[in-house]
Chain A
Amino acid sequence: MAGSHDHVEEALPPGKSFADRVYLPAVMRGLKLTVQKFFGTVTDKHATVQYPEVGIYDASEAERAIGHPNPRYRGEHILVKDEQGREKCVACLLCMAACPALCIHIEPEPTPPEWGDRERRPKVFEIDMLRCIYCGYCEEACPCDAIRLTPKFYTPTTSRTERVYDKERLLENNPAAQIPQRPAK
């Protein structure tokens, strides 16, 4: 079925035999192949996911003929939380410096005294998803594994301002649900 390439013949230089020059045997083989593919699609399955109705993650195994999205796909960012549910970020601004698209904006603030384990945390952490080129340099630059790229790619919105993700939204970004999360008003 889909993805199998057993029908691909080894590429040979153009034949000089009579059968090759007449074209007809090759044409007949081609017609046989397409009619097989045609009835294969009719009786078996096709590679199409009915996209807006069926999400790429919602699709059943049978429907997801093009395979899983690669887990290493670089999609939207997520801010990682530690064991106590606080953001891991220490607002060192390294990701901001590494970003080639200048889409990260961080304003640091001192941590509350009861935190103890670090001195700074981001007061504002914004990523302009429209500017981001999804290169993953922020992920590489981060010394405390606080920012990661997830395979989430289904992100349509209706306005540009919605594409600027703030800290809360980044913290709550759920890669498993490929549904756009509307910012709470």
Chain B
Amino acid sequence: MSTFLVLLVGALIVVAALMTVTQRNPIHAALSMLIALGGVGALMIGLKAHFLAAMQVLLYGGAIMVLFVFVIMLLTLREDELGPEPPSATRLLAAVGALALTFILFSALSRRSDTEFREPDNDAKIAAAEAKGDVRRRTKVYYGSTEHFARVLYTDYAVPFELITVLVMAAVAGVIVLARRPDSMTLEATKLMASPAASRAASAGGGAA
């Protein structure tokens, strides 16, 4: 049953992820991505990492994707503003990069020892506690708890955690560089120098940037 659910959710995630990159409509792409992120949250619930699942939905679903959707709604891109299709060489490179990333992640994750991420047998502990009549305090389940998560994150994985923040910073800087429009004056000047036709159009149409 649980295997079936994992497969189902996995298929959903794959389909949603594919739709994220294939949809032309940016809102549809963003919502597909939301479905993919939610599916990952569902997988985390399946692994009894409830805290992580809640965080996944709260941060990615409730905050980050809302901003995505918000920005897309503000821009309301038209079909002609979406830009040209990337050349096939770029696509090929992207596919190779994605495959390489998949391979690296897979090998990195499969190299961990199997027991490290396996849930210890909690059911027996809970049953023992309930048999004693101790239902007033729910039996503490350490595995997957907030404490467990925090301890692992801030001890064993402190360096990767910090490195990821650097990565995010780099991504933000890159986005700013990519999205920054050239100075409008410079743009006009370049256009005028580049072609006399553009210069005529600019003087006639008031130079719509």
Q: Do chains A and B touch in the complex (CB under 8 A)?
A: no
Instruction: Report B's interface with A, CB cutoff 8 A.
Output: none
Chain A residues in the interface with B (C-beta under 8 A): none
